[in-house]
Amino acid sequence: MANANTTAPSIAIVTLGCAKNEVDSQEMAVKLARAGYAVTRDPEEADVIILNTCSFIQVATEESIDTFFELAGLERVVGGESKIVLAGCMPSRYGADLEAELSEASAFVPCSREDDIVEVVADLLPDRVPEPAILEPDGTIGANEYALTTAGDSPFVAYVKISDGCDRMCSYCTIPFIRGRYHSYSLDEITADVAYKVKSGVREITLIAQDTGRWGQDFEERSSLAALMDHLAKRFPQTWFRVMYIQPEGVTDELLQVFGDNENICRYLDIPFQHAAKPVLRAMNRRGNADAFLKLIAHIRETVPDVTLRTTLIAGFPGETEEQFAELIDFIESAELDYVGVFPYSREDGTRAAELEDQVDEEVKQERAQEVRDLADSISAARIADRVGKRIPVLVLGCEEDGQLFGRAQCQAPDVDGVTYVSAGKPGDIVEIEVTGTLMYEMEGE
């Protein structure tokens, strides 16, 4: 993963948080590599360590702070040979207050300044600015660059961010303060990003954003997520496409039609309902209710019969009564979703929800979240077990230490839905299997 110029200063990027942060780190890594820096995975040996932080909720902020102090305790950092740059959500959210508290950091780079990362590093190491990398005819640094842009440790899957920011202003959410106003990336930018990754061997691309369903609505000539996905699926027919983070109102008939028309679009929808009781949703500054959501789910399943559905839910929101929590439980039982992410409400400074009366006791929040989690897991396990005997395609990703091949089916999103163990194929292949067994989220097949 390092640049060929081994005498150049080495830069390690440590990433916390969601896939959107992973993409931001990849983009910083590419900029640094093109500028001639040696990008490494080893912070202990790096001249500059960039910690790309998450600060969406308090738990994430605490993890970011803990990781920062772990890095600050490394021998080369303590000795002054290595510098730390704090990047991403924490400096975006806390600004000057953070700079006063974390004096061990040599620079602070909020999300809005990540495009300037090369200049930031050059300012920290003014006597060691490297010669720019020699680029390939296509303007990249070749295979080295591609290694910096894949998702996780697999060269066959990648994330592509299609927009940034959010205008929804949900009362519990810090994203608008961290990422700013919503703005779509252009069709040409996204297509070029996808084309490069496909050329480099990627077989599955996951489209991500804070609100993917709004893509194209801020253009002078409005477009839609459906149009984008149809364009990509037809332009790259051998590549799987998956989309995450679609708000309920973003699931249109046009989009469902595109899912049905293109076999290389994963029949998978991640729709963050967040709750089911109307009063709670209104307090969240969100639309919908249990009946509307159940009708949407039924319509999706009728239109795309083999669809996999994921959601996220918040338990213990301020003012949530026993009756409203019971309505959430009833919704989960009725919806029978394939996967559910569950979070106890996190009271975040600066949000409107933090100032609401009737904050739910911490112990009650945790108990409710666990009850939701247990119920959702039991439903998920049963739905996954129903796949036994079905024939499905699986993208082979790699081998376990014991040589066991594993991959992911279209019904399994990266990082959150488990893997499928297979008996044949090689990494990068898409093989058809018959599901022979399941264990919670994992599947196995012949």
User: What would the pLDDT profile of 13-34 be if each residue is shown by its tens digit?
Assistant: 998 888 888 888 888 988 998 8
pLDDT, tens digit (0-9, with 9 covering 90-100), for 155-171: 888 999 999 988 888 99
pLDDT, tens digit (0-9, with 9 covering 90-100), for 225-284: 999 999 999 999 999 999 999 999 999 999 999 999 999 999 999 999 999 999 999 999
Estimate the crossing angle of helix 58-72 against helix 89-101, to 10 degrees: 60
Number of Cβ atoms within 10 Å of the Cβ of 279: 16
Nearest to 229 by CA among 208, 248, 249, 210: 208
Q: Rounded distance, CA 341 to CA 363, Å?
A: 19
Name the amino acid, one letter, at 247: Q
- Helices H, strands E: what count in the chain? 14, 18
pLDDT, tens digit (0-9, with 9 covering 90-100), for 110-127: 988 888 999 999 999 998
Nearest to 57 by CA among 173, 170, 210: 173
Q: Are 335 and 327 in contact (CB under 8 A)?
A: no
Q: Rounded distance, CA 78 to CA 14, Å?
A: 18
Q: Rounded distance, CA 198 to CA 200, Å?
A: 5
Average pLDDT over residues 337-354: 93
Q: Would the pLDDT of 313 be above 90? A: yes
**pLDDT band (50, 70, 90) for residue 441:** confident
| Structure token digits, residue 249 | 């109102």
Q: Would the pLDDT of 349 be above 90? A: no
- In terms of Cβ atoms closer than 10 Å to its own Cβ (0-12, 13-18, 19+), residue 113 is middle
Q: Are 210 and 179 in contact (CB under 8 A)?
A: yes
The average confidence (pLDDT) of the chain is 90
What Cα–Cα distance (Å) separates residue 301 from each residue in 290, 304, 334, 385? Answer: 16, 5, 14, 18
Q: Rounded distance, CA 107 to CA 161, Å?
A: 26
| Structure token digits, residue 118 | 């090369």
- In terms of Cβ atoms closer than 10 Å to its own Cβ (0-12, 13-18, 19+), residue 410 is buried
SS3 129: coil
Q: Would the pLDDT of 4 be above 50? A: no
Estimate the crossing angle of helix 322-335 against helix 362-385, to 10 degrees: 10
Name the amino acid, one letter, at 316: G
**pLDDT band (50, 70, 90) for residue 416:** confident
Q: Would the pLDDT of 1 be above 50? A: no
Average pLDDT over residues 177-189: 90
Beta strands in 300-359 (DSSP E): 308-315, 339-344
Q: Rounded distance, CA 276 to CA 328, Å?
A: 5
| Pairing verdict, β 430-439 and 442-445 | antiparallel
**pLDDT band (50, 70, 90) for residue 154:** confident
In the chain, the percentage of residues whose pLDDT exceeds 70 is 95
Q: Rounded distance, CA 48 to CA 51, Å?
A: 10
Q: Rounded distance, CA 313 to CA 409, Å?
A: 24
pLDDT for residue 199: 87
Q: Would the pLDDT of 101 be above 50? A: yes
pLDDT for residue 23: 87
SS3 184: strand
170 backbone dihedrals φ, ψ, rounded to 5° = -60, 140
